[in-house]
Every structure is written in C-alpha cells, then in structure tokens.
Structure 1
Amino acid sequence: MEQFIQENVWLVVLLALWVLPWKGVALWKASRLGQKKWFIAMLVLNTLAILEIFYIFFIARKKTLEVAETK
C-alpha cells in the first residue's frame, strides 16, 4: 500500500482536493443546523465524500426547508 501511494502521489492529491471541500461544507452545514451526530459521523468517517454529498443534498436541504417553513 505504501508503495502504491508513493508511486501515485497525484492520486492522493486529487482525492484530497475532492474530499476536503465537500467535507468542509458538510461539516459547516451540520454545525449551523445543530446536528451533532451528523457532524461527528462526518468528522470521523472517511467515505471519499460520499457521506458528505448525501448529507448536503438530502439531509441538510430537508432541514433547511423545514426551518424556512416555520418562519
């Protein structure tokens, strides 16, 4: 595994550039919406941004719409 990473540094950089923005936005939304369990799950689990994308487009959007309707 270590040899693979050393031979494919570009892949590690590409994955980091893909994951970090998604993780940042998802953690920010979870924090703003007060969803501690989601925040912890996304902080601890590394799912190559799959969990983060799911959260942003389904969970956070639903919560944001619910908050907007109550105003």
Structure 2
Amino acid sequence: MLEPPLLYYWMIPLIIWSITWKAVALWKAARNRQLGWFLVLFIINSAGILPILYIYYYQKNKSPKINF
C-alpha cells in the first residue's frame, strides 16, 4: 500500500491544471464584465472543465474566424 505522502503526489498536477485554467477563465470573464460567469467560475471547482468550456465556447469572439 502507498504511504500517505506518495498517495497524494498525483494531486499536484491536477491542482496546477485546475488553478491555471481557473485563473485564465476568471481573467477573461472579468475583462469582459461577465459577472455571472465570474461568480460561477469562482465558486464552482470542476478540475478545469468549466473554465475550459467558458474559454472556448462562451467567450466573446474578438477575432474573425477564417473558413477554408
């Protein structure tokens, strides 16, 4: 059986992953003055899934999409 310190080493990359995506999503929500999204992203912990969805699907599109 794994000892307690070794048991938690897998959590470090998950925590870094979650904090990074949450910070980017909170920054974008604040810059776009989207208070509802900012509060949801700040309160709900979803291991990076909700911030990624916000960044890619609910973000105001500032650059035009190029269709080939």
TM-score between both structures, scaled by the size of structure 1: 0.75
RMSD of equivalent CA atoms: 2.2
Query: Where does structure 1 differ by over 4 angstroms across 4 or more consecutive aligned residues?
Result: none
Over alpha carbons, which structure has the higher Rg? 2
* Unaligned stretches of 5+ residues in structure 2: none
Count of aligned pairs: 62
Report sequence identity in percent: 34
Whose helix fraction is larger, Structure 1's or Structure 2's? 1
Cross-structure match for 2:25: 26
- Distance in structure 2 (CA, Å) of the matches to 1:42 and 1:7: 30
* Unaligned stretches of 5+ residues in structure 1: none
TM-score between both structures, scaled by the size of structure 2: 0.78
